[in-house]
Structure 1
């Protein structure tokens, strides 16, 4: 009975709101097909190759690109063309430093090649915060990233990850004191010419403690109490993410 409860907990741990198979995409694809809407918010973003910086969205554990529907809609409504919004799909059970950061680097390079941009904005939820940080800090990503945004990221680990750490590398990477967490927080937690922003909620329930998300040198924002996955669809959070990406 105890093992069944543990398996159930681990199955729910840091899962996305939409279960989409997490297989790496061969080439970046826009997250939405509607590119016609514009307003003044999008115009304030730094232009690159004739358009706003591309936004790369990175989901959390056991999730997929479908979790980004609400934020994608808000971005397009604000004037970000759909062909500048990308959602990276990946196997969240793989190693952050040995596998995922390299895959993300190749994905971002392809986005830059296809769009003609020189930098991207990265927005990550939960576990997605770790491979994106590794890419920026150790994978040569700092010159290619303007904004790095973490929604409910286990940036200093989460104790809940121990529930699935025995059989899942992604969970092991999220445990407090893991090799990945320790290396990411050595020295400068926010290196390079990158604007770092984190969002956390006291009601998260899966990042324990919730203070784990905050980083030294970042703009750390505590939002209204809501669940771990609720940050993905909350209109207020979406507005704050948009304001972060459009800031001069």
Structure 2
């Protein structure tokens, strides 16, 4: 069932990007720069209608390849879009997000400054998947990032810890969690900062988990098998600038689990609408699958 759900989401994504490419009103961009438009192009200059560069943040054990669908789509929509590989451990060149989140937040801070300097923009919009949905909060709190972030959207959101498909629950019940942490923590420091009950997440939430000057959209899927329970992807300090949304409330046909959310047309269009309007779309499945 999980394989079928993932395959369905990927098929929808492929169909959507193919449709976007063939019907795009800017063929000159495609001819000059190929499918990726101005994706990861430091010469890109934001337009007045889309003034904030979009920075995409991958999840644990991932890399910027997670955004091979969303990155080009943002570019084709006219955004200056970038993806960042962060959190690499020495000797592990491909798998990212492993290092301490405080170190990754400093990497994000440096990259944001680089993008702002190159584009001339005053703020960025952050879009994070999985661990990339937690990292912006670390940046905002510990790197004085609130003056540089306008929107923060998340998919596969993990804000209050995960049991990792209840593996953590089983290990704790068997009194094995400490032993497993002792073995894995040297090579995956972030792993144990993201689990349910992690002191790091408790400290991150102290004083509230949002800032009034930042606009938030937390997208979660009830089919998420890695962030469990999926409702831990919601923010708890609520206000008019905070939107917690279950993807299936936008489109009941979206079967995306954790990984497939990164290639979901529903997720992409909901986020793009949020970046443009500061609000949550009320469009149905047909509109969100375009």
Q: Is the TM value for this pair above 0.5?
A: yes
Give the drift of 1:204. Answer: 0.4
Preserved contact between residue 153 and residue 216 of structure 2 (Cα < 8 Å): yes
Distance 2:204 2:150 in 1: 18
Give the drift of 1:67. Answer: 1.0
- After superposition, what is the alpha-carbon deviation per residue over 1:54-98, rounded to whole angstroms, capped at 9, x for unaligned? 000000011111111211232123222xxx21101012111112x
SS at match of 2:190: helix
SS at match of 1:157: coil
Structure 1 stretches of 5 or more lacking a match? 1-16, 18-31, 37-44
Tell me which residue corresponds to 1:57: 56
TM-score, length-scaled by structure 2: 0.66
* 1:241 matched to 2:271: yes
Q: Which of 186, 208, 215 is equivalent to 1:195?
A: 215
SS at match of 2:246: strand
Distance 1:221 1:165 in 2: 32
* 1:223 matched to 2:247: yes
Pairs aligned (count): 205
Distance change (3 Å), C-alpha of 1:120 and 1:165: farther
Distance 2:68 2:100 in 1: 26
- After superposition, what is the alpha-carbon deviation per residue over 1:194-224, rounded to whole angstroms, capped at 9, x for unaligned? 0011000110000010000000222011012
Tell me which residue corresponds to 2:206: 186
Preserved contact between residue 36 and residue 72 of structure 2 (Cα < 8 Å): no
Distance 2:124 2:56 in 1: 10
Tell me which residue corresponds to 1:73: 72
Preserved contact between residue 142 and residue 192 of structure 1 (Cα < 8 Å): no
* 1:34 matched to 2:37: yes
Within a 5 Å distance, the mapping from 1:129-208 to structure 2 comes to: 129-160=133-164, 162=168, 165-166=181-182, 167=184, 168-208=188-228
Give the drift of 1:188. Answer: 1.6
Tell me which residue corresponds to 1:8: none
Give the drift of 1:187. Answer: 2.0
Preserved contact between residue 100 and residue 190 of structure 2 (Cα < 8 Å): yes
Distance 2:151 2:211 in 1: 12
Which has the larger Rg?
2
TM-score, length-scaled by structure 1: 0.76
Preserved contact between residue 150 and residue 197 of structure 1 (Cα < 8 Å): yes
* 1:109 matched to 2:117: no
* 1:86 matched to 2:82: yes
Distance change (3 Å), C-alpha of 1:236 and 1:178: same
Distance change (3 Å), C-alpha of 1:58 and 1:158: same
